[in-house]
Amino acid sequence: MKIKALTPLFLIGVFSCQNNSQTRDNSEISIKESTQAKEVHTEKKSIKSPLNESHNNFCRLLAGDTNLINSNTKHQGIWKQFASESDKKWTVLNSKLAVPISKWVSNQSYNLEIKTNTLLYPFAGGDYFYANLFFPKKDTIIMVGLEPSGTIFNPKTATKEELEDYLKNLEHSLFFPHKLGFFRTKSMAVDFEKGLLNGTLHTCLYYLAKFGNSIHYIKTFNLSESGEYKDVQEMTPNSTGFKGYRIGYSAQEDNEVKELIYFTENLANSGLRYSASSDAKRIPAYHFLNKKKNVACFFKAATYLMHKDYFSDIRNICLNNGNVILQDDSGIKLEYFKPAGFSVTYLGEYTRTIPLFSNRFQEDLAKEYINLQPKKLPFVIGYNAQYGECNLQLAIKK
């Protein structure tokens, strides 16, 4: 079996932000690149630094590398069964979602290849899958969620029972969300409390491997009061007491090492401040995120949190620092985009919300869809997947 189950085509780079006029046929949309300066990186990525053999081999096992499984791997039968079952599900996931999204992203009529290097994906959990599909050329992806980070699983020391449980729980956390069309926070919280499957690291490593990437490093970090990295160390199975992790990875065609950053944080204002006061001092994670300028932002199945006043800090970070925002209706409320200098392109169809979020239906957003009648998207993700519907809004800063 090939590890690289699919190669995403072009990519939604980071969408700068322009496009005041909306046509009825969204295939004719042409979005101009932003003239804003590229994000200035304080850390230069390694140019094809050596691979970490231990981390990389583990990812190859997760991806179903039969050559590695057959070369004296402990518990070969369990690994072969996992590889066979997960490969079947990956093939379906690939054809149902990955290929259609990649083809849509590569559609030149949308001109989404905006020159910015970093993707900010709040409320992501362990969802590297969609981050990579919609933004495959980003050299830095920052994901934040309530789910724990997790630590390295060591297959060499795991018992047969531990390995079976780990792979069974991993498979459930990888594929069950796609049946729903979204990742459920409560489900992920339960999944990541199951023994050695202890955080988002495991799903991220699986997706990284299946997309054909090799692993250069996995480092843990904490944050200083000003939001800078500190206490950076190579992750081990015994790593504890850290804020988040950084995975250095690259595909065969990459010239530089890319980086996936994840940390656990409550993104409500009460989580990003030292007290509930409106003028309270912000915590390190707030400063870390607020320092990321001229970025792309992505929201999917974000439970409408940023519609609420008590999520204004993270909403304002994205509106102030984002060049482009790709989201479904559960992200930032439509009324916030125009005052922040964005123009919006409407994609797909928007006719309802699921009953759980019926009070979050946006009449002004529905009117835009009724007036413009954009084309249906060639894939279905998000809360309305159960209805066979999908909506996206592409907000570009002028």
pLDDT tens by residue, 272-322: 999 988 888 999 999 999 999 999 999 999 999 999 999 999 999 999 999
36: confidence class by pLDDT, cuts 50, 70, 90 = very low
CB 185 within 8 A of CB 303: yes
Q: How many domains does the chain have?
A: 1
pLDDT at 111: 53
For 110-119, 276-285, 308-317, 387-396, which range has the lowest pLDDT when averaged over its residues? 110-119
Q: Assess if residue 113 is contained within a domain.
A: yes
CB 104 within 8 A of CB 377: yes
pLDDT at 46: 61
Angle value at C-alpha 242, between 240 and 245, nearest 5 degrees: 110
pLDDT at 14: 32
Average pLDDT of the chain is 85
Q: Assess if residue 17 is contained within a domain.
A: no
Cα 289 to Cα 143, 283, 297: the distances in Å are: 10, 11, 12
Close Cβ partners of 144 (under 8 Å, ≥ 6 residues apart): 121, 122, 123, 124, 262, 263, 264, 265, 267, 285, 289
- More confident position, 368 or 193: 368
110: confidence class by pLDDT, cuts 50, 70, 90 = low
Domain region containing 215 = 26-397
- pLDDT tens, position by position, 124-168: 999 999 999 999 989 999 999 999 999 999 999 999 999 999 999
Q: Assess if residue 381 is contained within a domain.
A: yes
Q: Assess if residue 16 is contained within a domain.
A: no
Entry field: residues in the chain: 398
For residue 315, the one-letter residue type is: R
Q: Assess if residue 310 is contained within a domain.
A: yes
For 43-52, 174-183, 332-341, which range has the lowest pLDDT when averaged over its residues? 174-183
- pTM of the full structure: 0.85
pLDDT at 376: 96
Q: Assess if residue 4 is contained within a domain.
A: no
- pLDDT tens, position by position, 4-22: 444 433 333 333 333 333 3
pLDDT at 276: 82
For 14-28, 234-248, 379-393, which range has the lowest pLDDT when averaged over its residues? 14-28
pLDDT at 386: 87
Q: Assess if residue 364 is contained within a domain.
A: yes
For residue 306, the one-letter residue type is: M
**For residue 340, pLDDT beyond 70:** yes
Q: Assess if residue 5 is contained within a domain.
A: no
Torsion of CA 224, 321, 308, 260, to 10 degrees: -60
Close Cβ partners of 91 (under 8 Å, ≥ 6 residues apart): 5
b/e map of 240-279 (b: 16 or more CB within 10 Å)?
eebbbbbbbbbeeebeebbbbbbbbbebebebbbeeeeee
Q: What value does the mean pLDDT take over residues 73-87?
A: 93
